[in-house]
């Protein structure tokens, strides 16, 4: 199983998903992220999914769960770089990811976090 | 007597009487044309067809049947373009039966062959009809496709603000197309605000609203904001009456209001002159 690295930049955790998402790797990411949030006291999480081409309902739901978990640590989650096809799939699946903020790219996501901090 | 030999004898008979039959056929066809083509032109067309019919009937030529059908399809198309109805085209083919019957009527021993021949011609006449219908359907499909393209432009209103003026009914096919185009433009241009203008949407029922909500939701997922504008009084009343909830989606009366809203969100200030 491939592991997604979590980078800490200042008060923000940065996760860039560059692999084909498997159910286990997303579960692992959720665990790692929870650990990291508890340990570092970060106030924001940026998840870059520019490279993700395929999502299913499970991964969509896990993304929403990650958002909810982050909020418990008083951190905001920004999902950045979602591809149009992925956005359409998630909408068709009825997953609007209400608890997660979104931005077009990592730069804008960072600005969003800093602006709201 | 089997069909093949019937056709063979008929083919031979038709070859022997080619001139007479074609002349009579031309006469019959020209009478029904009401002056839309010259007799010489029609005769040339029919001669080509006739020789193909003979080749197809003689049975020796395997390609002739296919060629004959292709020629008939071409005839049907060109006639349709010149404003002939499909019945007129089919009747022109059926006229060959009359032309031949007038000759065969006296020779009673050719009757079975004539019947088989008649069936073949019926088949060919119907083939022109089918070609006509297929061509029509193709035209309709093309028009529907081009209409979809025409009615969903994505326009750049300002730096970082794009708009989609929706005109006509919003069904699932259109929604899909609008969504794809809008999202691709958002990602390609990096625009953060999208305005969906529904001034041109005649009615908003639960289905249309559902499609709008889906689009807004997808726009939000790629990281942009969506504003719905152009809500007419009747539409507003229907939306409320149907109990459709737009939630926290920004809705504005006009495209101008939506633009002003988006500009203020991007930090631009609009002065009033």
User: How many Å apart are CA B263 and CA B158, to the nearest integer?
Assistant: 8
Give the count of domains, chain A: 1
Q: Bigger pLDDT: B215 or B151?
A: B215
- Out of A79, A84, A90, closest to residue B187 by CB: A84
Q: Does some domain include residue A68? A: yes
Instruction: Please tell me whether residues B20 and B131 are part of one structural domain.
Output: yes
Q: Are residues B125 and B190 in the same domain?
A: no
Question: Quick one: which of A87, A77, A27 has its CA closest to A52?
Answer: A87
Do B128 and B162 lie in one domain? The reply is: no
The answer on B29 and B140 residing in a single domain is: yes
Indicate whether B47 and B130 sit together in one domain. yes
Burial class (CB in 10 A: 0-12, 13-18, 19+), A105: middle
Looking at chain A, the whole-number percentage of residues with pLDDT higher than 90 is 45
Same domain, residue pair B7 and B138? yes
Asked if A102 and A80 count as a contact pair (C-beta separation under 8 A), the reply is yes
Is B58 found in the same domain as B80? yes
Q: Cβ(B95)–Cβ(B32) under 8 Å?
A: yes
Average pLDDT over residues A85-104: 90
Tell me whether residue A58 is in a domain: yes
CB contact under 8 A, A108 and B192: yes
Give the end of a domain, one of B105, B121, B144.
B144
Domain limit, last residue, from B98, B124, B144: B144
Residue B150 lies in a domain: no
Domain of B94, CATH number, reads 1.10.490
Residue A1 falls inside a structural domain: no
Residue B252 pLDDT class (50, 70, 90 cuts) = very high
Residue A71 is assigned to a structural domain of this protein = yes
CATH code of B247's domain: 3.30.750.24
Q: How confident is the model at residue B7 (pLDDT cuts 50, 70, 90)?
A: low
Q: Is A44 exposed, middle or buried (0-12, 13-18, 19+ CB in 10 A)?
A: buried
What is the spatial distance between Cα B124 and Cα B101, in angstroms, rounded to a whole number?
17
Q: What interface predicted TM-score (ipTM) does this complex get?
A: 0.81
Grade residue B1 by pLDDT with cuts at 50, 70 and 90: very low
Please tell me the total count of domains within chain B. Answer: 2
Residues 78-107 of A with CB under 8 A from B: 79-84, 86-88, 90-92, 96-97, 102-105
Residue B159 lies in a domain: yes
Q: What is the mean pLDDT of chain A?
A: 89
Are the Cβ atoms of A104 and B214 closer than 8 angstroms?
Answer: no
DSSP A74: T
pLDDT, position A117: 46
Q: Which residue has the higher pLDDT, B5 or B101?
A: B101
Q: Does B53 touch chain A (CB under 8 A)?
A: no
Q: What is the DSSP letter of B190?
A: T
pLDDT for the residue numbered B91:
86
CB-CB neighbors (< 8 A) of B220 in chain A: 96, 102
State whether B200 and B259 are in the same domain: yes
B183: in domain: yes
Does residue B199 lie in a domain region?
yes
Residues of A in Cβ contact (< 8 Å) with B162: none
**Is residue B149 a part of any domain in this protein?**
no
Same domain, B34 and B134: yes
In a domain, A64, yes or no: yes
| B69 occurs within a structural domain | yes
In this predicted structure, the answer to whether residue B106 has a pLDDT above a threshold of 80 is: no
A86 min Cα distance to partner chain B (Å): 9
Instruction: Let me know whether B127 and B256 are in one domain.
Output: no
Domain, as residue range, for B192: 155-265
Q: How many CB pairs under 8 A join A and B?
A: 59
Residue B23 lies in a domain: yes
Q: List, in order, residues 6 or more apart from B212 with CB less than 8 Å away.
A: B170, B196, B198, B204, B228
**Which CATH number is A51's domain given?**
3.30.750.24
User: What is the extent of the structural domain holding A39?
Assistant: 6-116
Within 8 A of B184 by CB-CB distance, chain A residues are 84
């Amino acid at each position: 199983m491939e592991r997604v690295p979590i980078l800490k930049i200042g008060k923000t955790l940065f996760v860039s998903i560059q692999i084909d998402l498997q159910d286990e790797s997303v579960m692992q990411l959720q665990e790692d992220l929870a650990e990291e949030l508890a340990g570092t006291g970060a106030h924001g999480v940026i998840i870059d999914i520019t490279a993700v081409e395929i999502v299913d309902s499970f991964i969509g739901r896990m993304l929403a769960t990650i958002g909810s978990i982050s909020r418990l640590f008083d951190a905001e989650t920004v999902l950045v770089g979602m591809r149009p096809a992925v956005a359409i799939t998630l909408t068709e699946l009825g997953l609007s990811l209400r608890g997660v903020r979104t931005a077009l790219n990592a730069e804008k996501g960072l600005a969003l976090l800093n602006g709201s901090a | 007597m089997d069909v093949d030999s019937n056709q063979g004898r008929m083919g031979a008979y038709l070859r022997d009487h080619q001139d007479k039959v074609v002349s009579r056929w031309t006469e019959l066809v020209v009478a029904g044309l009401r002056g839309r083509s010259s007799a010489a032109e029609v005769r040339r067309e029919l001669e080509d067809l006739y020789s193909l019919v003979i080749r197809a009937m003689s049975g020796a030529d395997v390609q002739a049947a296919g060629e004959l059908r292709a020629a008939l399809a071409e005839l049907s198309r060109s006639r349709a373009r010149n404003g002939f109805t499909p019945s007129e085209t089919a009747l022109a083919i059926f006229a060959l039966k009359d032309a031949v019957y007038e000759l065969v009527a006296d020779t009673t021993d050719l009757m079975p062959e004539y019947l088989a021949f008649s069936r073949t011609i019926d088949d060919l006449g119907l083939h022109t009809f089918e070609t006509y219908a297929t061509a029509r359907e193709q035209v309709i499909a093309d028009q529907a496709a081009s209409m979809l393209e025409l009615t969903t432009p994505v326009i750049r209103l300002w730096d970082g603000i794009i708009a989609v003026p929706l005109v006509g009914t919003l069904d699932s096919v259109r929604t899909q197309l609008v969504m794809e185009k809008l999202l691709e433009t958002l990602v390609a241009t990096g625009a953060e605000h999208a305005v969906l203008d529904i001034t041109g949407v005649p009615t908003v029922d639960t289905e249309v609203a559902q499609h709008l909500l889906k689009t807004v939701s997808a726009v939000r997922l790629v990281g942009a904001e969506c504003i719905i504008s152009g809500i007419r009084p009747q539409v507003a009343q229907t939306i409320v009456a149907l109990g459709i909830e737009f939630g926290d989606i920004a809705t504005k009366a006009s495209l101008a209001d939506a633009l002003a809203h988006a500009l203020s969100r991007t930090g631009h200030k609009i002065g009033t002159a």
